[in-house]
Chain A
Amino acid sequence: MKSQLLSLLTLTCAIMAVPTVRADDLDITVQHNHLQFGQAPIPIALSGFTGTGLEVLKFDLTVQGFSFVTPDKAAYLVHGSDAGDVSGTVAIAGGKQVILSRSYNGASIRREAHAFADEVVQAITGKPGIAETRGGVAKIAFKAQYPGGAGEIYMADFDGFGAQEVTSDRAIVAKPAWQTGRLALYYTSYARGNPDIFYHSLTTGQRRVVAGYSGLNTSAATSPDGSQLAMVLSRAGSPNIWVSNFDGKGLRRLTTGLEDSSPCWSPDGQWICFATKDHARRRLAKIPAGGGPIEYISTAGTPNPTEPDWSPDGKWIAYTSQGSEFDICVAAVDGSIRPQDLVAGQNPSWAGNSRTLVFNRGPEGRQTLSVLDVFTKQYKDCHRVAGSCSQPAWAK
């Protein structure tokens, strides 16, 4: 296990050290990308935690690529307590060298356990964990739908706990999307009798319509710098991708096909990826955010790609493939490996580490949110909220 980790790390360093792309470098990239998917989880042994702390640690670590084993099989030993407050240590198995020692107070067990989980991930992998952002537990927004179609927009911790209603209109709602870096959401609501895109500040509770044209207004997505908004409007006669400023002004049309849906931005803000039809064949495409020719993204082997989301590191597009069932798939933007079909589910939304994503799965009308690690395919269902929950968006 340790030697595998070491060789993976070496491979990563080798890739980062090479400045120009030569044929053998491409081989390394392809091999590296191949190695990413289907990798074995990092085995750790957990001890001493019993209640909420244990539950939180198991959730957070599972969805970031760890598994739980007996100490003799573990690469790392994580020991601590969640009685009263959370404290814990991480030691390398065998040598027992302690690489992390923390104790927390002043917050809920849940919050402290999330913070500890992040530190465990950082100590073992060298990369930041995803459980905390901006001084609080990472958040998701999503929709909960009731029989008959009406529902509400909610926000919650990324594991489903602490859910709060954002809307209370009993109207059809859809596709919440965070404004980058802000506690504000865009979402579609039929509260005014038409699908309109609202902008809703979570700190003041005030909201207003930013796109309320006749026809369809839906699928809002903010640019990585928060300044622009992509969306689907049918005001020109067919559902197309349009872009405006974050407040809805400065509107311009980006596509002119018959049936486009689900725009998402590249992390550098240069491209918008979306689902479209090319002579009745459903495909994912990308277009320069400032306008220009469409390029198709290869999703070979996965039928009917839809609902794309671009990973923060720029490398992957997660999407829903619609075959006999819905599947969460990941395609490489550079086409270096074939698209990966991971688990049954829909509507993926990436976390900041570009390997964990939140999605929804389950029977129609009784969907639940779930969090997946794309590299190990391990996933955990979120704490259930009322109704059929779907279209989760990880806060940016």
Chain B
Amino acid sequence: MRRLDAIQAIYPELERSIVVTIMGAVAAEVQSIGHRPNFFYLQHAMGLASSVGLGIALARPDLPVIVLDGDGSVLMNLGGLTTLARYRPKNLIHLIFDNESLLSVGGFPTATSTGSDLAGIAKAAGVPRTATVRSLDELHAQFNAAQRAGDLTTIVAKVDAVGPSGYVTDLSLLENRYQFARYMKEQEGARP
């Protein structure tokens, strides 16, 4: 499974959700499909995308939040999985693309290439729903199940170690940040 195809497969769900992504290939691929004002790309601070997602989910429990993470990033903040599990935001889906490598810096293998199991780690951290998927059909099924369950879910999608040719897009970081904050503010009126 290519990550780009996986993102494409769930894009309709992303459009309807608050989305936080990690830097590099994931941000570039999401933008290549289509940027939306409800998407925030954390273009550095590796590991913190899930923490940003937690902060949003706690501040706005009425909005669905999706975090698009990666194996290299998650491995930098494994403790964050225990914090996520502890507060168990029911409106958050944590989707980790696991290509078993640090692709954007030369493809050096991560610990998931030698057997570290991120879904297993998330489960042991206390995340109530976890799954590992290897095909678009499985991804669809687990994603839909997570939405129906309405509970914190970590899905690890095993993907090929391929990405875009470049990572810099024409969306500046601060433009994205202020646009996203303004979008969130506009949702104030939509509070239940």
A and B interact physically: no
